[in-house]
Amino acid sequence: MQIIAAVDNHWAIGFRNSLLVRIPRDQQMFREMTEGKVIVIGRKTLETFPQKQPLKNRVNMILSRDRKYTVKDAIVVHSIEELMEELQKYDANDVYVAGGASVYEQLLPYCDTAHITKINYTYQADAYFPRLDEMEDWKLTGDSEEQTYFDLEYYFQKYERKNKPKC
């Protein structure tokens, strides 16, 4: 499985159930990487999407503890075990974990590649991504040249796990 996120200098990803910033090129990259694939998100992340609807042209898997929670055009699972069973139907390379913070934290052990948009700024935040640069098992293997959006600098980075997880 892969994981995809945009983080600031302190690995923050959100504030009050919202993205820290919307960068069109980052959103385009997300769309290009995940269309035709499976995305795994939490209920709160889904509620930040336009009209609170699953993303088009993807298999949307929503992780929610609420057993009564249902979403049209999405698969709702209620535990990591149930998610892993459902994901066996798909190629692991086509699965992207896309947030939020608790979903990232729970599923990071199952991922072997991380696509990180690293934003050179520090935002007020209350949700964070695990700091891959401080984890021995993760290595930065790709880094784009500096990108800019108005006066904001950011980079597309790729991290890979040194020892592949067993799903």
User: How does pLDDT run across 63-72, given as a tens digit for each residue?
Assistant: 999 999 999 9
User: How does pLDDT run across 84-129, given as a tens digit for each residue?
Assistant: 999 999 999 999 999 999 999 999 999 999 999 999 999 999 999 9
**CATH code, 6:** 3.40.430.10
Sole residue written with tokens 């930040």: 48
Residue at 166 is within a domain:
no
Q: What is the pTM of this model?
A: 0.94
Domain count, the chain: 1
Sole residue written with tokens 């820290």: 20
- Name which of 129, 132, 152 is nearest 142 in CA terms: 132
Residue at 55 is within a domain:
yes
User: How does pLDDT run across 2-17, given as a tens digit for each residue?
Assistant: 999 999 999 999 999 9
* Domain membership of residue 24 as a residue range: 2-161
Residue at 167 is within a domain:
no
**Cα distances (angstroms) measured from residue 62 to each of 73, 99, 125:** 11, 10, 23
Residue at 7 is within a domain:
yes
Residue at 57 is within a domain:
yes
Sole residue written with tokens 């990803």: 13
Residue at 111 is within a domain:
yes
